[in-house]
Amino acid sequence: MEILKTKRLMQQWSRARKKKGKTICFVPTMGYLHQGHISLLEKGKPLCDELVLSIFVNPSQFGPNEDLDAYPMDIDNDLRLAAVAGVTAVFLPQKEDIYPPHFQTRICLDSLPHHLCGMSRPVHFGGVATVVTKLFHIVMPDVAIFGKKDFQQLQIIRQMTWDLDFNIEIMGGEIVREKDGLAMSSRNAYLTADQRKSALSLSRSLHMAGQVIAKGEKNPLVIEKEISCFIQSFPQTRIEYISFCDPATLETVGVIDKQILLALAVQVGKTRLIDNVLIDPPQ
Ligand code: AMP
């Protein structure tokens, strides 16, 4: 496994592989790897000749009062896990290499970022789209894999890739959960033991909503009321949003008569957690 610490070295590596006719699968991350990240690497491993992992805590996707400085890191453990997963190159750029002085370009999309997480994180998806664009140009992958845990991010990357003719196949990986249902996240490391219990309110409420819809409830407002009471019954929780929306446009739906995305953001203590599920109404 090669470790490439500058964009020039990464580009040279990718160009050399492409010259030999090799295909490249790419999994971008911010590190502190867990089984959710590993599942994306495992999905990608058989798809291409090369498997590239990037680890970069991207400052431009954090707002001024967010957790950029506190974001957990353990590069040694990440490299060990990457080698076990069969990664052939790890791209570990420095901030100055990605955002040199006088950098001034930003990718923005008209509609998808203005829903769900974008409402409270106005700079987030511009930062994501910009860094992913740069990483795509540097790594030059044939396939790139993103987790459905960040469903809105996945849709934005799909849209951007299509809009801007990147010629990269974007694939989604299923959400990996702890045994008790909590969606894995690097940010779970922030939770105290009590908060960890409250964090279960997210996955449990998604499950509850699925059961209510399976029984025939079609009104999102009725279900929203029920799950919001449920989440609030857990200590230290503050709901940011509960959204029943169209999975393609992320626009709110008024009636559940086709597949919907139910997406949540809840602050547990100081930690912001997200989760989601696709739900089909009964036939
Ligand atoms: P991050 O390091 O949090 O930026 O995540 C890197 C990639 O891993 C993104 O595509 C995430 O959607 C994905 N990811 C994070 N957590 C999970 C999870 N629990 N299951 C599946 N994919 C995940």
In terms of DSSP bridges, do strands 50-55 and 24-29 run parallel, antiparallel, or are they unpaired? parallel
Q: Which atom of ligand 1 is nearest to the CA of 37?
A: 8
- Measured in Å, residue 283 CA sits from the centre of ligand 1 at 32
Rounded alpha-carbon distances, angstroms, from residue 247 to 166, 200, 227, 244? 22, 23, 20, 9
| CA–centroid distance, residue 26 to ligand 1 (Å) | 13
0.95 cut: is pTM over it? yes
Query: Could you tell me which of 173, 174, 179, 198 has the C-alpha nearest to residue 273?
Result: 198
Rounded distance from Cα 98 to ligand 1 centre (Å):
21
Residues 22 and 196: their CA atoms lie apart, in Å, by 44
User: Is the CA virtual torsion 270, 122, 115, 37 positive or negative?
Assistant: negative
Domain 2-173 CATH (choose: 3.40.50.620, 2.40.30.10, 3.40.50.11030, 3.40.50.300): 3.40.50.620
Which of the listed residues 73, 149, 177, 179 should we mutate to test ligand 1's pocket, taking the one with most ligand atoms within 8 A of CB?
Answer: 149
10 Å Cβ neighbour count for 251?
12
Give start-end residues of each CATH 3.30.1300.10 domain in the chain: 186-277
Which of ligand 1's atoms lies nearest the C-alpha of 33? 2
3-class SS string, the chain: CEEECCHHHHHHHHHHHHHCCCCEEEEEECCCCCHHHHHHHHHHCCCCCEEEEEECCCHHHCCCCCCCCCCCCCHHHHHHHHHHCCCCEEECCCHHHHCCCCCCCCCCCCCHHHCCHHHHCCCHHHHHHHHHHHHHHHHCCCEEEEEHHHHHHHHHHHHHHHHCCCCCEEEEECCCECCCCCECCHHHHHCCHHHHHHHHHHHHHHHHHHHHHHCCCCCHHHHHHHHHHHHHCCCCEEEEEEEEECCCCCCECCCCCCCEEEEEEEEECCEEEEEEEEECCCC
| Domain 186-277 part of CATH 3.30.1300.10 | yes
Residue 8 near residue 51, CB atoms below 8 Å:
no
Quick one: pLDDT at residue 283? 86
Distance 40 CA to ligand 1 centre (A): 8
Active site residues: 37
pLDDT at 178 (0 to 100): 98
The list of the chain residues with pLDDT below 50 reads none
Mutate to test the pocket of ligand 1, among 25, 27, 29 (most ligand atoms within 8 A of CB): 29
Residue 8, CA distances (Å) to 48, 89, 129, 138, 218 in order: 22, 14, 21, 8, 53
Ligand 1 environment, Cβ below 6 A: 29-30, 36-37, 39-40, 146-147, 149-150, 173, 175-176, 183-186
pLDDT tens-digit readout, 192-217: 999 999 999 999 999 999 999 999 99
CA of 216 to the centre of ligand 1 (A): 32
